[in-house]
């Protein structure tokens, strides 16, 4: 009897010890969260801030889906520091003051551990002062104009030079191009990109820019531009037209007989997402310079594409920004685990040199909080997918490029 009781007690102690051991495998909340973020013993709450409504919703949906997929996968694999990720989703509604309002709500009211969000430069510019003042962390997925660097932002897309220089080098060499016609939508990203492109064409490639035009966002009449292009006969049309204008631009080019078989066109603003709207037949033969295409043939990308299609349907496509959005939660998880803490300052300090085997290939966070990434040239096919013709080495991010400002 006594022995039985004793053994019972022993069992109890053993159980308790085992229980303590499992708890200790997960660091206590007081240690990993010293700044009052919304972290409990079992969960960590993060924010997601994109436009679900308004003109940008069509572009941002891919990022929303990819971030959600990454979060689901991380949760299924045990979460971050043993904590499941909970998401508070907010709608920026394609309106910059709303982005600012929601960013503040997520940081001040909800005290989220990090935010995945924004798409346009304008929305990022609207929330940046709030992230810096409230000391939040933002994972921003879009390729953008550079000229920015913040402790409170990790830029998972390319800054302008990463997307432009290697692409122009390739087209100059492959197509023996001498004359370029630059076309863009009228806001800071195309303006900055074209400035960098022009300097590179004139100073490095010794080519000539025969025309440079910018059109208001939403512009749909490109007749006069097409006439000018026919007159100047540039070797390359270099395009950064975005949003709804894209569809009109390429359809009108095709209608005017400027097609991939007769004209070289390199764009930095068309991904698989845009092709859905423009139609593969209107783009066939034109080139895009991106870091990611859905057709990249690696095991990491195959697994990503399959998981994405399983979740969102076989018809869904994955563009450059969607993939960059997918990196956000994974890079945050890596930073938190490297820092052993959810504290923003510690994540920011731990982020440089984190590496990840991403669908686009290996990436690494630079001390300037941008990613080292490759540049690829894809040629669009009728089915809306790109054939990857060229792949650069990893390019160092340089948001403040000397000689290009």
Q: Where are the alpha helices (DSSP H) in 233-319?
A: 244-255, 272-278, 280-283, 299-312
Q: Give the nearest distance from C-beta 84 to other proteins in angstroms.
A: 21
Is residue 39 within 8 Å of residue 45, measured between CB atoms?
A: yes
Distance, first Cα to last Cα, the chain:
87
Is residue 350 within 8 Å of residue 356, measured between CB atoms?
A: no
Q: Give the nearest distance from C-beta 371 to other proteins in angstroms.
A: 21
Would you tell me the crossing angle of helices 57-76 and 320-339 to the nearest 10 degrees?
A: 40
Q: Where are the beta strands (DSSP E) in 194-291?
A: 208-215, 236-240, 264-267, 287-290
Q: Give the nearest distance from C-beta 98 to other proteins in angstroms.
A: 8
230 phi/psi in degrees, rounded to 5: -65, -35
The enclosing H or E element of 4 equals helix 2-25
265 forms beta bridges with 237
Site residues, other proteins (CB under 8 A): 52-53, 89-91, 93, 95-98, 100-102, 104-105, 108-109, 121-122, 125-126, 128-130, 133, 145, 147, 186-188, 191-192, 195, 214, 216-217, 400, 405
Q: Give the nearest distance from C-beta 405 to other proteins in angstroms.
A: 6
Nearer to other proteins, 95 or 235 (CB): 95
C-alpha separations of 351 from 137, 157, 171, 207, 324 in Å: 11, 15, 34, 39, 16
Nearer to other proteins, 20 or 220 (CB): 220
Nearer to other proteins, 120 or 294 (CB): 120
The enclosing H or E element of 139 equals strand 138-140
Picking from 92, 106, 109, the residue whose alpha carbon sits closest to that of residue 55 is 92
Q: Give the nearest distance from C-beta 106 to other proteins in angstroms.
A: 10
Nearer to other proteins, 7 or 53 (CB): 53
Q: Give the nearest distance from C-beta 85 to other proteins in angstroms.
A: 17
Nearer to other proteins, 29 or 55 (CB): 55
- Three-state DSSP at 6 gives helix
Nearer to other proteins, 90 or 272 (CB): 90
Question: For residues 270 and 272, what is the distance between their CA atoms, to the nearest angstrom?
Answer: 7
Q: Give the nearest distance from C-beta 184 to other proteins in angstroms.
A: 12
């Amino acid at each position: 009897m006594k022995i039985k009781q004793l053994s019972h007690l022993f069992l109890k102690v053993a159980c308790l010890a085992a229980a303590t051991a499992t708890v200790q495998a997960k660091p206590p909340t007081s240690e990993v969260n010293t700044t009052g973020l919304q972290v409990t013993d079992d969960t960590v709450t993060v924010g997601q801030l994109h436009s679900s409504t308004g003109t940008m919703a069509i572009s941002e949906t891919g990022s929303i889906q990819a971030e959600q997929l990454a979060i689901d996968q991380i949760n299924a694999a045990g979460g971050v520091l043993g904590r499941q990720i909970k998401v508070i989703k907010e709608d920026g509604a394609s309106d910059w003051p709303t982005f600012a309002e929601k960013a503040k709500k997520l940081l001040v009211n909800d005290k989220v551990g990090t935010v995945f969000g924004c798409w346009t430069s304008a929305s990022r510019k609207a929330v940046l002062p709030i992230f810096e003042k409230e000391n939040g962390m933002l994972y921003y997925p879009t390729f953008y104009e550079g000229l920015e660097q913040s402790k409170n932002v990790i830029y998972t897309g390319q800054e302008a030079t990463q997307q432009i220089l290697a692409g122009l080098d390739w087209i100059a060499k492959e197509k023996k191009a001498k004359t370029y016609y630059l076309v863009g939508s009228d806001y800071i990203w195309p303006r900055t990109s074209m400035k960098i492109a022009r300097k590179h064409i004139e100073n490095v490639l010794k080519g000539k820019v025969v025309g440079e035009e910018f059109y208001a966002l939403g512009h749909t009449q490109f007749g006069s531009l097409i006439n000018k292009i026919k007159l100047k006969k540039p070797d390359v049309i270099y395009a950064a037209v975005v949003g709804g204008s894209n569809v009109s631009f390429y359809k009108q080019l095709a209608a005017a007989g400027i097609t991939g078989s007769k004209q070289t066109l390199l764009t930095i603003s068309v991904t698989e997402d845009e092709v859905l709207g423009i139609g593969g037949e209107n783009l066939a033969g034109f080139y895009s310079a991106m870091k990611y295409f859905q057709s990249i043939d690696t095991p990491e990308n195959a697994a990503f594409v399959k998981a994405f299609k399983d979740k969102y349907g076989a018809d869904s496509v994955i563009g450059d920004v969607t993939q960059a959005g997918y990196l956000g939660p994974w890079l945050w998880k890596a930073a938190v685990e490297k820092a052993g803490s959810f504290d923003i300052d510690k994540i920011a300090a731990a982020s440089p040199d984190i590496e990840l085997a991403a669908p686009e290939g290996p990436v690494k966070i630079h001390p300037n909080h941008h990613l080292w990434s490759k540049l690829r040239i894809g040629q669009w096919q009728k089915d809306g997918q790109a054939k990857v013709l060229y792949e650069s080495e990893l390019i160092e991010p340089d948001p403040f490029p000397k000689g290009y400002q």
